Homo-oligomer: A and B are copies of this chain.
Amino acid sequence: MRLIRKSIVPSVALLAAFPGLAVAQEVSAADAMFTVNNTWMMVATFLVFIMHLGFATLESGLTQSKNTVNILFKNMGIIAIGLLTYALLGFNLMYPGEFSIGGIFGFAGFGVGTDPEGLTSAYNPGYTYWTDFLFQGMFAATAATIVSGAVAERVKLGSFLVFSTVYVALVYPFLGSWKWGGGWLDAMGFYDFAGSTLVHSVGGWAALAGVIFLGPRLGKYVNGEIRPILGHNLPLAVIGMFLLWLGWFGFNGGSVLSADPGLVSFVLVTTSMAAAAGIIGAMLTTWIIHKHPDASMVLNGALAGLVGITAGADVVSVLSSIIIGLIAGVIVVFSVEIIDRAKLDDPVGAISVHLTCGIWGTLAVGLFSADFSIVTQLIGVLAYGAVAFPAASVIFLTLKATMGLRVSDTVERRGLDLSEHNMEAYPDYTIFTAR
Protein backbone atom coordinates (compact mmCIF):
# COMPACT_ATOMS: atom_id res chain seq x y z
CA MET A 1 0.00 0.00 0.00
CA ARG A 2 1.40 3.36 -0.98
CA LEU A 3 0.36 6.97 -0.83
CA ILE A 4 -2.39 7.19 -3.35
CA ARG A 5 -5.18 9.27 -1.95
CA LYS A 6 -6.36 12.72 -2.69
CA SER A 7 -4.29 13.72 -5.65
CA ILE A 8 -6.58 14.98 -8.34
CA VAL A 9 -3.72 15.13 -10.79
CA PRO A 10 -1.85 11.81 -10.67
CA SER A 11 1.73 12.32 -9.58
CA VAL A 12 4.70 10.84 -11.42
CA ALA A 13 5.29 8.44 -8.54
CA LEU A 14 1.71 7.28 -8.89
CA LEU A 15 2.01 6.66 -12.56
CA ALA A 16 5.16 4.65 -12.00
CA ALA A 17 3.33 2.57 -9.44
CA PHE A 18 0.48 1.67 -11.77
CA PRO A 19 1.83 0.99 -15.19
CA GLY A 20 -1.54 -0.24 -16.34
CA LEU A 21 -3.23 2.97 -15.41
CA ALA A 22 -0.31 5.24 -16.12
CA VAL A 23 -1.91 7.37 -18.74
CA ALA A 24 -5.58 6.67 -18.59
CA GLN A 25 -6.10 7.53 -22.22
CA GLU A 26 -3.64 4.83 -23.28
CA VAL A 27 -5.42 1.94 -21.57
CA SER A 28 -6.64 -0.49 -24.21
CA ALA A 29 -9.87 -2.43 -24.13
CA ALA A 30 -7.81 -5.63 -24.24
CA ASP A 31 -5.99 -4.53 -21.06
CA ALA A 32 -9.31 -3.93 -19.36
CA MET A 33 -10.65 -7.30 -20.50
CA PHE A 34 -7.52 -9.07 -19.32
CA THR A 35 -7.87 -7.36 -15.94
CA VAL A 36 -11.51 -8.31 -15.48
CA ASN A 37 -10.84 -11.91 -16.56
CA ASN A 38 -8.01 -12.11 -14.07
CA THR A 39 -10.14 -10.52 -11.33
CA TRP A 40 -12.90 -13.06 -11.90
CA MET A 41 -10.43 -15.96 -11.76
CA MET A 42 -9.02 -14.60 -8.49
CA VAL A 43 -12.53 -14.44 -7.04
CA ALA A 44 -13.11 -18.03 -8.23
CA THR A 45 -9.87 -18.99 -6.48
CA PHE A 46 -11.11 -17.52 -3.20
CA LEU A 47 -14.33 -19.47 -3.56
CA VAL A 48 -12.51 -22.77 -4.14
CA PHE A 49 -10.29 -21.93 -1.16
CA ILE A 50 -13.33 -21.55 1.08
CA MET A 51 -14.41 -25.08 0.10
CA HIS A 52 -11.61 -26.28 2.36
CA LEU A 53 -13.33 -24.63 5.31
CA GLY A 54 -16.56 -26.18 4.03
CA PHE A 55 -15.03 -29.66 4.05
CA ALA A 56 -13.52 -29.05 7.50
CA THR A 57 -16.85 -28.09 9.05
CA LEU A 58 -18.89 -30.66 7.11
CA GLU A 59 -16.63 -33.54 8.10
CA SER A 60 -16.24 -32.50 11.72
CA GLY A 61 -19.97 -31.91 12.06
CA LEU A 62 -20.81 -35.38 10.75
CA THR A 63 -18.35 -37.23 13.03
CA GLN A 64 -18.00 -37.67 16.77
CA SER A 65 -16.76 -34.90 19.05
CA LYS A 66 -13.89 -37.04 20.29
CA ASN A 67 -12.32 -36.91 16.81
CA THR A 68 -13.01 -33.28 15.97
CA VAL A 69 -9.53 -31.88 16.59
CA ASN A 70 -8.15 -34.60 14.35
CA ILE A 71 -10.53 -33.86 11.46
CA LEU A 72 -9.88 -30.14 11.67
CA PHE A 73 -6.16 -30.75 11.84
CA LYS A 74 -6.25 -32.92 8.73
CA ASN A 75 -8.11 -30.25 6.81
CA MET A 76 -5.60 -27.56 7.81
CA GLY A 77 -2.76 -29.91 6.89
CA ILE A 78 -4.23 -30.77 3.49
CA ILE A 79 -4.54 -27.22 2.24
CA ALA A 80 -0.93 -26.55 3.28
CA ILE A 81 0.43 -29.77 1.79
CA GLY A 82 -1.75 -29.45 -1.29
CA LEU A 83 -0.57 -25.95 -2.18
CA LEU A 84 3.09 -26.60 -1.43
CA THR A 85 3.32 -29.89 -3.33
CA TYR A 86 1.38 -28.45 -6.22
CA ALA A 87 3.89 -25.62 -6.36
CA LEU A 88 6.83 -28.02 -6.21
CA LEU A 89 5.55 -30.75 -8.51
CA GLY A 90 1.91 -30.98 -9.45
CA PHE A 91 1.48 -27.82 -11.49
CA ASN A 92 3.93 -28.85 -14.20
CA LEU A 93 3.07 -32.53 -14.10
CA MET A 94 -0.54 -31.69 -14.90
CA TYR A 95 0.05 -29.06 -17.56
CA PRO A 96 3.36 -29.86 -19.22
CA GLY A 97 4.52 -27.03 -21.41
CA GLU A 98 7.24 -24.71 -22.43
CA PHE A 99 7.61 -23.04 -19.03
CA SER A 100 8.76 -26.35 -17.62
CA ILE A 101 12.47 -26.83 -17.09
CA GLY A 102 13.14 -30.50 -16.76
CA GLY A 103 9.42 -31.06 -16.58
CA ILE A 104 9.40 -31.52 -12.85
CA PHE A 105 9.13 -28.43 -10.79
CA GLY A 106 5.79 -26.62 -10.78
CA PHE A 107 7.36 -23.23 -10.93
CA ALA A 108 10.27 -24.68 -12.90
CA GLY A 109 12.48 -24.45 -9.87
CA PHE A 110 10.92 -21.14 -8.88
CA GLY A 111 13.08 -19.42 -11.44
CA VAL A 112 10.37 -18.65 -13.94
CA GLY A 113 7.79 -15.98 -13.99
CA THR A 114 8.96 -13.98 -11.04
CA ASP A 115 8.90 -10.92 -13.24
CA PRO A 116 5.29 -9.78 -13.08
CA GLU A 117 5.59 -7.87 -16.34
CA GLY A 118 6.66 -10.87 -18.34
CA LEU A 119 3.92 -13.15 -17.23
CA THR A 120 1.03 -10.77 -17.48
CA SER A 121 1.67 -9.97 -21.10
CA ALA A 122 3.00 -13.23 -22.45
CA TYR A 123 1.29 -15.97 -20.51
CA ASN A 124 -2.10 -16.48 -22.02
CA PRO A 125 -4.95 -14.28 -23.16
CA GLY A 126 -7.04 -15.04 -20.07
CA TYR A 127 -5.18 -14.36 -16.87
CA THR A 128 -1.82 -14.56 -15.21
CA TYR A 129 0.49 -17.45 -14.47
CA TRP A 130 0.06 -16.82 -10.73
CA THR A 131 -3.71 -16.82 -10.86
CA ASP A 132 -3.60 -20.03 -12.84
CA PHE A 133 -1.34 -21.73 -10.35
CA LEU A 134 -3.38 -20.69 -7.34
CA PHE A 135 -6.72 -21.64 -8.87
CA GLN A 136 -5.40 -25.05 -9.97
CA GLY A 137 -3.63 -25.59 -6.65
CA MET A 138 -6.80 -24.96 -4.65
CA PHE A 139 -8.53 -27.45 -6.97
CA ALA A 140 -5.86 -30.10 -6.50
CA ALA A 141 -6.09 -29.91 -2.73
CA THR A 142 -9.83 -30.67 -2.80
CA ALA A 143 -9.17 -34.17 -4.19
CA ALA A 144 -7.37 -35.11 -0.97
CA THR A 145 -9.96 -33.44 1.21
CA ILE A 146 -12.63 -35.73 -0.18
CA VAL A 147 -10.74 -38.72 1.22
CA SER A 148 -10.43 -37.14 4.65
CA GLY A 149 -14.08 -37.60 5.59
CA ALA A 150 -14.32 -41.23 4.45
CA VAL A 151 -11.34 -42.41 6.49
CA ALA A 152 -12.25 -40.32 9.53
CA GLU A 153 -12.23 -41.52 13.13
CA ARG A 154 -9.68 -44.34 12.70
CA VAL A 155 -6.90 -43.38 10.28
CA LYS A 156 -3.45 -42.53 11.62
CA LEU A 157 -2.70 -38.85 11.20
CA GLY A 158 0.81 -39.25 9.82
CA SER A 159 -0.20 -41.92 7.31
CA PHE A 160 -3.09 -39.83 6.08
CA LEU A 161 -0.86 -36.81 5.56
CA VAL A 162 1.67 -38.90 3.61
CA PHE A 163 -1.15 -40.36 1.52
CA SER A 164 -2.47 -36.87 0.73
CA THR A 165 0.96 -35.63 -0.23
CA VAL A 166 1.59 -38.45 -2.69
CA TYR A 167 -1.93 -38.44 -4.10
CA VAL A 168 -2.04 -34.67 -4.69
CA ALA A 169 1.53 -34.40 -5.89
CA LEU A 170 1.57 -37.36 -8.28
CA VAL A 171 -1.69 -39.23 -8.88
CA TYR A 172 -4.09 -36.30 -9.24
CA PRO A 173 -1.96 -34.31 -11.71
CA PHE A 174 -1.10 -37.41 -13.73
CA LEU A 175 -4.77 -38.36 -14.06
CA GLY A 176 -5.78 -34.77 -14.69
CA SER A 177 -3.41 -34.54 -17.63
CA TRP A 178 -5.42 -37.17 -19.53
CA LYS A 179 -8.13 -34.60 -20.09
CA TRP A 180 -7.21 -31.09 -18.94
CA GLY A 181 -3.59 -31.53 -19.93
CA GLY A 182 -4.69 -32.40 -23.45
CA GLY A 183 -4.02 -36.14 -23.13
CA TRP A 184 -5.59 -39.21 -24.69
CA LEU A 185 -9.11 -38.87 -23.20
CA ASP A 186 -9.29 -35.28 -24.39
CA ALA A 187 -8.39 -36.48 -27.86
CA MET A 188 -11.14 -39.13 -27.67
CA GLY A 189 -13.83 -36.52 -27.03
CA PHE A 190 -14.38 -37.33 -23.37
CA TYR A 191 -15.95 -34.38 -21.56
CA ASP A 192 -15.60 -33.33 -17.94
CA PHE A 193 -16.14 -29.63 -17.59
CA ALA A 194 -15.04 -28.98 -14.03
CA GLY A 195 -14.21 -32.36 -12.61
CA SER A 196 -17.07 -34.73 -11.75
CA THR A 197 -14.54 -37.39 -12.68
CA LEU A 198 -11.16 -35.63 -12.66
CA VAL A 199 -11.60 -34.26 -9.14
CA HIS A 200 -14.59 -35.87 -7.42
CA SER A 201 -14.32 -39.44 -8.66
CA VAL A 202 -10.56 -39.35 -8.36
CA GLY A 203 -11.03 -38.35 -4.72
CA GLY A 204 -13.90 -40.82 -4.37
CA TRP A 205 -11.92 -43.82 -5.65
CA ALA A 206 -9.24 -43.06 -3.08
CA ALA A 207 -11.92 -42.73 -0.41
CA LEU A 208 -13.24 -46.18 -1.38
CA ALA A 209 -9.77 -47.70 -1.23
CA GLY A 210 -9.13 -46.10 2.15
CA VAL A 211 -12.41 -47.39 3.57
CA ILE A 212 -11.70 -50.92 2.34
CA PHE A 213 -8.15 -51.14 3.67
CA LEU A 214 -8.94 -49.43 6.96
CA GLY A 215 -12.04 -51.43 7.77
CA PRO A 216 -15.07 -50.11 9.63
CA ARG A 217 -15.02 -48.18 12.90
CA LEU A 218 -15.36 -50.24 16.08
CA GLY A 219 -18.98 -50.82 16.95
CA LYS A 220 -20.31 -49.95 13.53
CA TYR A 221 -21.18 -53.45 12.35
CA VAL A 222 -21.94 -55.75 15.26
CA ASN A 223 -23.48 -59.23 14.91
CA GLY A 224 -24.68 -58.43 11.43
CA GLU A 225 -26.38 -55.25 12.58
CA ILE A 226 -25.61 -51.77 11.28
CA ARG A 227 -25.34 -49.38 14.22
CA PRO A 228 -25.39 -45.69 13.37
CA ILE A 229 -22.54 -43.62 14.82
CA LEU A 230 -23.96 -40.12 14.89
CA GLY A 231 -22.24 -36.90 13.95
CA HIS A 232 -21.87 -34.47 16.84
CA ASN A 233 -22.80 -31.06 15.46
CA LEU A 234 -25.33 -30.53 12.69
CA PRO A 235 -24.91 -26.73 12.52
CA LEU A 236 -21.23 -27.26 11.63
CA ALA A 237 -22.26 -29.69 8.89
CA VAL A 238 -24.84 -27.28 7.47
CA ILE A 239 -22.29 -24.45 7.51
CA GLY A 240 -20.10 -26.83 5.52
CA MET A 241 -22.81 -27.52 2.96
CA PHE A 242 -23.51 -23.81 2.35
CA LEU A 243 -19.80 -22.98 2.11
CA LEU A 244 -19.29 -25.84 -0.35
CA TRP A 245 -22.17 -24.60 -2.51
CA LEU A 246 -20.66 -21.10 -2.36
CA GLY A 247 -17.28 -22.54 -3.26
CA TRP A 248 -18.80 -24.41 -6.20
CA PHE A 249 -19.64 -21.08 -7.83
CA GLY A 250 -15.88 -20.71 -8.16
CA PHE A 251 -15.20 -24.39 -8.83
CA ASN A 252 -17.61 -24.50 -11.79
CA GLY A 253 -17.78 -20.79 -12.64
CA GLY A 254 -13.99 -20.51 -12.59
CA SER A 255 -13.63 -23.55 -14.82
CA VAL A 256 -14.84 -21.42 -17.71
CA LEU A 257 -11.32 -19.98 -17.39
CA SER A 258 -12.49 -16.48 -18.24
CA ALA A 259 -15.17 -14.06 -17.10
CA ASP A 260 -17.16 -14.71 -20.30
CA PRO A 261 -20.51 -13.26 -19.17
CA GLY A 262 -22.90 -15.65 -20.86
CA LEU A 263 -20.97 -18.82 -20.20
CA VAL A 264 -20.05 -18.15 -16.58
CA SER A 265 -23.49 -16.97 -15.54
CA PHE A 266 -25.11 -19.89 -17.35
CA VAL A 267 -22.85 -22.27 -15.44
CA LEU A 268 -23.81 -20.58 -12.16
CA VAL A 269 -27.48 -21.15 -12.96
CA THR A 270 -27.12 -24.84 -13.84
CA THR A 271 -24.92 -25.31 -10.76
CA SER A 272 -27.50 -23.72 -8.45
CA MET A 273 -30.45 -25.49 -10.02
CA ALA A 274 -28.75 -28.86 -9.60
CA ALA A 275 -27.94 -28.14 -5.95
CA ALA A 276 -31.51 -27.02 -5.27
CA ALA A 277 -32.93 -30.06 -7.04
CA GLY A 278 -30.53 -32.32 -5.13
CA ILE A 279 -31.99 -31.00 -1.87
CA ILE A 280 -35.52 -31.72 -3.08
CA GLY A 281 -34.54 -35.17 -4.36
CA ALA A 282 -32.98 -36.25 -1.07
CA MET A 283 -35.77 -34.63 0.95
CA LEU A 284 -38.55 -36.46 -0.88
CA THR A 285 -36.67 -39.76 -0.96
CA THR A 286 -36.02 -39.84 2.78
CA TRP A 287 -39.47 -38.48 3.60
CA ILE A 288 -41.08 -41.28 1.59
CA ILE A 289 -38.74 -44.11 2.61
CA HIS A 290 -37.88 -43.24 6.18
CA LYS A 291 -41.06 -41.27 7.00
CA HIS A 292 -38.83 -38.47 8.29
CA PRO A 293 -37.06 -35.87 6.13
CA ASP A 294 -33.41 -36.47 6.94
CA ALA A 295 -31.34 -33.32 7.44
CA SER A 296 -27.95 -34.90 6.91
CA MET A 297 -29.19 -36.61 3.74
CA VAL A 298 -30.59 -33.31 2.51
CA LEU A 299 -27.23 -31.62 2.85
CA ASN A 300 -25.60 -34.54 1.09
CA GLY A 301 -28.33 -34.15 -1.54
CA ALA A 302 -27.19 -30.61 -2.24
CA LEU A 303 -23.61 -31.78 -2.57
CA ALA A 304 -24.72 -34.72 -4.74
CA GLY A 305 -26.46 -32.30 -7.10
CA LEU A 306 -23.35 -30.15 -7.22
CA VAL A 307 -21.04 -33.08 -7.98
CA GLY A 308 -23.54 -34.35 -10.54
CA ILE A 309 -23.69 -31.11 -12.54
CA THR A 310 -19.94 -30.50 -12.44
CA ALA A 311 -19.11 -32.54 -15.55
CA GLY A 312 -21.66 -30.88 -17.79
CA ALA A 313 -22.53 -27.53 -16.22
CA ASP A 314 -21.76 -25.65 -19.44
CA VAL A 315 -23.29 -28.04 -21.96
CA VAL A 316 -26.68 -29.12 -20.57
CA SER A 317 -29.87 -27.06 -20.46
CA VAL A 318 -31.31 -25.56 -17.28
CA LEU A 319 -34.11 -28.11 -17.30
CA SER A 320 -31.54 -30.89 -17.66
CA SER A 321 -29.54 -29.48 -14.76
CA ILE A 322 -32.64 -29.74 -12.58
CA ILE A 323 -33.20 -33.35 -13.62
CA ILE A 324 -29.53 -34.25 -13.14
CA GLY A 325 -29.55 -32.71 -9.65
CA LEU A 326 -32.86 -34.32 -8.71
CA ILE A 327 -31.61 -37.75 -9.71
CA ALA A 328 -28.32 -37.17 -7.88
CA GLY A 329 -30.31 -36.32 -4.74
CA VAL A 330 -32.18 -39.62 -5.05
CA ILE A 331 -29.09 -41.66 -5.94
CA VAL A 332 -27.08 -40.41 -3.00
CA VAL A 333 -29.64 -41.71 -0.51
CA PHE A 334 -29.62 -45.21 -2.00
CA SER A 335 -25.86 -45.19 -2.47
CA VAL A 336 -25.30 -44.40 1.22
CA GLU A 337 -27.58 -47.27 2.14
CA ILE A 338 -25.98 -49.77 -0.25
CA ILE A 339 -22.44 -48.87 0.78
CA ASP A 340 -23.43 -49.22 4.43
CA ARG A 341 -25.00 -52.63 3.79
CA ALA A 342 -21.78 -53.68 2.07
CA LYS A 343 -20.12 -52.91 5.43
CA LEU A 344 -18.05 -50.17 3.89
CA ASP A 345 -17.97 -47.62 6.69
CA ASP A 346 -17.90 -44.09 5.27
CA PRO A 347 -18.73 -41.76 8.18
CA VAL A 348 -19.71 -38.74 6.09
CA GLY A 349 -21.01 -40.34 2.88
CA ALA A 350 -18.06 -39.11 0.83
CA ILE A 351 -18.00 -42.11 -1.50
CA SER A 352 -21.68 -41.70 -2.34
CA VAL A 353 -21.45 -37.95 -2.89
CA HIS A 354 -18.18 -37.78 -4.79
CA LEU A 355 -17.73 -41.16 -6.47
CA THR A 356 -21.30 -42.35 -7.13
CA CYS A 357 -22.57 -38.92 -8.13
CA GLY A 358 -19.31 -38.11 -9.91
CA ILE A 359 -19.92 -41.14 -12.14
CA TRP A 360 -23.58 -40.16 -12.55
CA GLY A 361 -22.65 -36.61 -13.56
CA THR A 362 -20.06 -37.77 -16.06
CA LEU A 363 -22.48 -40.18 -17.71
CA ALA A 364 -25.23 -37.55 -17.62
CA VAL A 365 -23.20 -35.43 -20.05
CA GLY A 366 -23.67 -38.18 -22.61
CA LEU A 367 -27.37 -38.49 -21.78
CA PHE A 368 -28.34 -34.81 -21.73
CA SER A 369 -26.07 -33.29 -24.35
CA ALA A 370 -26.22 -34.34 -27.99
CA ASP A 371 -22.59 -33.33 -28.48
CA PHE A 372 -21.09 -36.06 -26.35
CA SER A 373 -21.19 -39.84 -26.45
CA ILE A 374 -22.32 -41.84 -23.46
CA VAL A 375 -19.88 -44.57 -24.54
CA THR A 376 -16.89 -42.23 -24.46
CA GLN A 377 -18.06 -40.88 -21.12
CA LEU A 378 -18.26 -44.43 -19.80
CA ILE A 379 -14.79 -45.20 -21.10
CA GLY A 380 -13.50 -42.17 -19.26
CA VAL A 381 -15.24 -43.19 -16.04
CA LEU A 382 -13.80 -46.71 -16.25
CA ALA A 383 -10.33 -45.53 -17.22
CA TYR A 384 -10.15 -43.22 -14.20
CA GLY A 385 -11.39 -45.96 -11.90
CA ALA A 386 -8.96 -48.43 -13.40
CA VAL A 387 -6.01 -46.26 -12.43
CA ALA A 388 -7.18 -44.17 -9.47
CA PHE A 389 -8.41 -47.07 -7.35
CA PRO A 390 -5.30 -49.27 -7.78
CA ALA A 391 -3.01 -46.26 -7.34
CA ALA A 392 -4.71 -45.28 -4.09
CA SER A 393 -4.66 -48.92 -2.99
CA VAL A 394 -0.95 -49.23 -3.59
CA ILE A 395 -0.26 -46.12 -1.52
CA PHE A 396 -2.57 -47.24 1.29
CA LEU A 397 -1.14 -50.78 1.36
CA THR A 398 2.42 -49.45 1.34
CA LEU A 399 1.57 -47.24 4.29
CA LYS A 400 -0.16 -50.13 6.05
CA ALA A 401 3.01 -52.21 5.69
CA THR A 402 5.30 -49.43 6.87
CA MET A 403 3.86 -46.66 9.06
CA GLY A 404 0.62 -48.47 9.78
CA LEU A 405 -2.74 -47.17 8.61
CA ARG A 406 -5.09 -47.51 11.53
CA VAL A 407 -4.89 -46.40 15.15
CA SER A 408 -5.14 -48.96 17.94
CA ASP A 409 -8.51 -49.94 19.38
CA THR A 410 -7.67 -48.08 22.59
CA VAL A 411 -6.90 -44.89 20.72
CA GLU A 412 -10.06 -45.25 18.63
CA ARG A 413 -12.26 -45.76 21.69
CA ARG A 414 -10.69 -42.89 23.57
CA GLY A 415 -10.84 -40.67 20.50
CA LEU A 416 -8.07 -39.50 18.22
CA ASP A 417 -8.11 -36.02 19.74
CA LEU A 418 -6.72 -36.98 23.12
CA SER A 419 -4.44 -39.68 21.74
CA GLU A 420 -3.02 -38.08 18.62
CA HIS A 421 -3.21 -34.43 19.66
CA ASN A 422 -3.39 -34.48 23.45
CA MET A 423 -6.27 -32.04 23.16
CA GLU A 424 -10.04 -31.88 23.12
CA ALA A 425 -12.21 -29.83 20.81
CA TYR A 426 -14.61 -28.80 23.58
CA PRO A 427 -12.79 -29.13 26.90
CA ASP A 428 -15.40 -27.16 28.85
CA TYR A 429 -17.97 -29.87 28.32
CA THR A 430 -17.08 -32.23 31.13
CA ILE A 431 -19.70 -34.63 29.91
CA PHE A 432 -17.48 -35.38 26.95
CA THR A 433 -14.43 -36.70 28.69
CA ALA A 434 -16.63 -39.14 30.57
CA ARG A 435 -17.87 -40.81 27.42
Interface string of A256-293 (1 = CB under 8 A from B): 01111111111011001101110110010000001011
A114 B33 Cβ-Cβ under 8 A: no
Is there a chain B Cβ closer than 8 Å to A128's Cβ? Answer: yes
Is there a chain B Cβ closer than 8 Å to A29's Cβ? Answer: yes
**A77 → chain B, closest Cβ, in Å?**
7
A268 B45 Cβ-Cβ under 8 A: yes
B56 A242 Cβ-Cβ under 8 A: yes
A261 B128 Cβ-Cβ under 8 A: yes
A296 B266 Cβ-Cβ under 8 A: no
- What B residues does A21 contact at CB under 8 A? 33, 37, 125-126, 258, 260
**A201 → chain B, closest Cβ, in Å?**
15
* Distance of A19 Cα from B425 Cα, bound (Å): 51
Please pick, from B4, B124, B131, B425, the residue contacting A268 in the complex, using a CB distance under 8 A: B131
B36 A30 Cβ-Cβ under 8 A: no
- What B residues does A280 contact at CB under 8 A? 80-81, 84
Closest to A329 in B: B80
A134 B265 Cβ-Cβ under 8 A: yes
Number of copies: 3
Interface string of A16-35 (1 = CB under 8 A from B): 01111100110111111111
B239 A53 Cβ-Cβ under 8 A: yes
CB-CB under 8 A for A18 and B431, given A80-B276, A110-B317: no
Please pick, from B3, B40, B233, B245, the residue contacting A182 in the complex, using a CB distance under 8 A: B3
Q: Which of A186, A234, A255, A432 has the most CB of B within 10 A?
A: A234
In chain A, positions 31-58 with a C-beta closer than 8 Å to chain B are 31-40, 42-43, 45-47, 49-50, 52-53, 56-57
Closest to A7 in B: B124
In chain A, positions 45-75 with a C-beta closer than 8 Å to chain B are 45-47, 49-50, 52-53, 56-57, 60, 64-65, 68-69, 72-73, 75
Is there a chain B Cβ closer than 8 Å to A384's Cβ? Answer: no
Apart from A53-B238, A60-B235: 18 A-B pairs, beta carbons within 8 A: A1-B193, A1-B255, A10-B124, A18-B258, A21-B258, A27-B30, A29-B31, A35-B261, A39-B40, A79-B279, A80-B283, A84-B276, A87-B318, A128-B262, A233-B425, A293-B420, A296-B423, A428-B432
**A56 → chain B, closest Cβ, in Å?**
6
B36 A295 Cβ-Cβ under 8 A: no
* Distance of A75 Cα from B195 Cα, bound (Å): 28
* Distance of A134 Cα from B276 Cα, bound (Å): 12
* Distance of A420 Cα from B116 Cα, bound (Å): 53
A234 B3 Cβ-Cβ under 8 A: no
Tier of interface size on chain A: 35 or more
Closest to A255 in B: B1
B38 A235 Cβ-Cβ under 8 A: no
B1 A263 Cβ-Cβ under 8 A: no
- What B residues does A133 contact at CB under 8 A? 269
* Distance of A57 Cα from B359 Cα, bound (Å): 33
Interface locus among A93-101, A211-219, A332-340, A348-356: A93-101
Closest CB pairs A-B (n = 5): A6-B97, A116-B262, A120-B262, A53-B242, A80-B279
* Distance of A289 Cα from B33 Cα, bound (Å): 51
- What B residues does A40 contact at CB under 8 A? 39, 42
Q: List 5 A-B contacts (CB under 8 A).
A: A20-B33, A31-B33, A42-B268, A50-B246, A428-B432
Please pick, from B72, B131, B290, the residue contacting A235 in the complex, using a CB distance under 8 A: B72
* Distance of A387 Cα from B10 Cα, bound (Å): 32
